[in-house]
Every structure is written in structure tokens, then in C-alpha cells.
Amino acid sequence: MSLQPIREEIDRIDQELVTLFKKRMDCAKQVGEYKKTNGLSVLNEAREKEILDSAETAGGEYGHAARLLFSSIMELSRALQHDITGSGKALRTLLESADFNFDNQASGLKIACQGIEGANSHEAAITAFPNAKPVFFATWEDVFRAVQDEKADYGVLPVENSSAGSVSDVYDLLLKYRFFIAGALDLKIAHCLCALPQCTLSNIEQVWSHPQGLSQCSNYIAKNNLAAVPCSNTAVAAQLVAQEKRLNCAAICSEKAAQAYGLKVLLRNFQNSRDNCTRFIILSKKLFIPEAADKISLCFSLPHVTGSLYNVLCRFSCHGLNLTKIESRPMQDKPFEYLFYLDFSGNVRSPHVMNLMCALSEELPQFNFFGNYQEL
């Protein structure tokens, strides 16, 4: 038996499917025009459920697959109708009014960062804003408050490490303060083990650092049975080791922090991963979208129904948009429900990206646009 006759039959059926799909989308377009004229919402959950249930029943042994197929068709139909009705007017207005001119080279800016001199956040701040003045704050939320109260023009905070993962508290604060991301940069992190000048490795029983620093050097800590002591910042750890003058304590910090606080470097670049990088974001109260912006960050929740995440992700695939990150976080006060943080490549001034963002802002229970920015 040859496959050729079967393949020819499949090709014939596919042509029929494409013809019928085009007719269906033309009908969906007419529905969209009607909804626009009559001020109706694009999403009609009862109607969609009716169609999906009918497809599953008619699909027989392929019922679940039929439901999935029609779910994708419904997503495409809804996307078309959103384009016609101009959904998401509030978000569209915000995006269209964004400032083009984000200038990280300007002089006289005050840049809020967490920690003290020599911290990785300090290094990120002066890298992102070479002509600005860093202003130090004790906590991440203090950085947000400084930008909120205009004690600083921008804030610089870590959001993700290549080996230790996301800094979830910063994402939570982004939602709380509703700030925007104006830019991002990746900083190579080379941790040093630093102690008093008279110390040797054999003296060390405790290591002090920020929890992220401890996590990034966990292999060495475990191998040598060292006690890990968390501090608010890697540079604060170096400062405390210098002040306490205890011969059995060392700090995990940068070489610059060791120099700033008079410590000796016992080990260099001893973190778990040699290619250890931390991503920092630039916080802004104002939305900037430069012409060359090529990365978009979002946060959204989903309806608690089967396939809802799949359906949303299909929308990005249909537009040829490349997802670079997706992560879930539990929603506060809503057990076992989640927020999804998503990064993808694109510029919201492209009509298909703008329309997708506006459609999702209308459809999803919660939708937050964090920014469209460049990597510095």
C-alpha cells in the first residue's frame, strides 16, 4: 500500500479546511463590525462555551482534539475582533503617549540603589548611568519609595541571576508601585571570599553575604561545612566583617567592596557558575519607549479554566513573537492562583504588537504592562 493516495486526500481536505477557515474569519469580521457599532464586548464566554462543547461532542473519538482546535480558532477570531473594535483604549493611550527620549548619559541625575558603596547594585547603577550620582538605600522598597517621592530620578535593582533565579520581591514591588522598566543591563558577577588581612582560608568558619550571594556560592559553602550568615547586601557583609574583626568570618562580596573596607581577597571567582550574571532593571515613574526598544515585560493572571495559558501563548506564536522568559508567582490572598511574568522581543509601536497588548488587557483578569525597553 502506498501513502501517496492518503496524502493526496489529506491535501484535498486541507484545502477545504483553509477555504472554510477563511469564510469563518470573514464572518468573525462581520461580528466584530457589529460589536463595534453596538458597543458590545468582544468576549462572549457563553457563546464560546457553546461552540467548544458542540465541537467536542461532534468530534467523537477526537473530541478533545476538536475542542483544542476550535479553542485556537476562537482565539484567532477574538483577536481579529479586538483589532476591529480598537480594544484596550486606556492601554493604547498610555503606550501612544510614551516618551521616546530616555537619556541614561545625562549629568546630575540621582540614581537610587540598595546597599552601600561597593555593592553590585552600586556597580550596576554607575554602569547604567555613568554621569549620575548613586544614592544608597537600605532596602529594595526604600529604592521604590525614593523614586516615588522624587528623591531619586530612577532606581536600579536586581531582578534575576543566571544561577540563583529571580529576585521575586522586586517583582512584587513592581506590582505594588506600578512603576515602569526604562532599561535593563546584565552585570557579570565575580564573587570574592574576603576576610581581615591577617586571615587565611583555614581560619574561616562563617561566610556572610546577601542571600543571593550565599546561594550563588552554595557549592563551596557546603563542601567546606561553613555556616552561612545572611546580610542585607554583599557590601554590607564586607563592612560588617571589617567592623567585627573576627578572624573566623569572611564576606562574599565584590573585589571593589573588599578594597573599600580594607579586606584581603582569599578566593576569586568561586561562585557555582563561572558565567554568573545578574540582570538589573531601571525603575521609572514615567513610561519611556525608545524607538529602538526591543524587549517587552508583562504580568498577567488567567481565568481558572483548562487551556487558558496555552491559548494566551498561542496568540504570541501566531504573531511570530519570541518569548524570552515566562515565570509564575503565587497571587497574594488567592491560594493556588498565579501571576505570570513574561518577557518577549518586540516593539509596541508595531501595530500587531500594540493590538495584541490591548486585546490581552481587555480579556485577562489582571494585566500589567511593565515596559518596552532596551538592554544597555
Residue position matching grid coordinates 468573525? 28
Residue position matching grid coordinates 554602569? 127
3-state secondary structure of 178: coil
H helix or E strand, kind and range, residue 317: helix 308-318
**Beta pairing, strands 110-114 & 154-161:** parallel
Q: Which residues is 301 bridged to in the sheet?
A: 339
- Angle at CA of residue 158, ends 229 and 333, nearest 5°: 85
Rounded Cα distance between 25 and 139, Å, is 52
3-state secondary structure of 158: strand
Using CA atoms of 368, 369, 374, 376 in order, give the dihedral in degrees to the nearest 10: -40
H helix or E strand, kind and range, residue 300: strand 295-301
State the catalytic residues: 278, 280
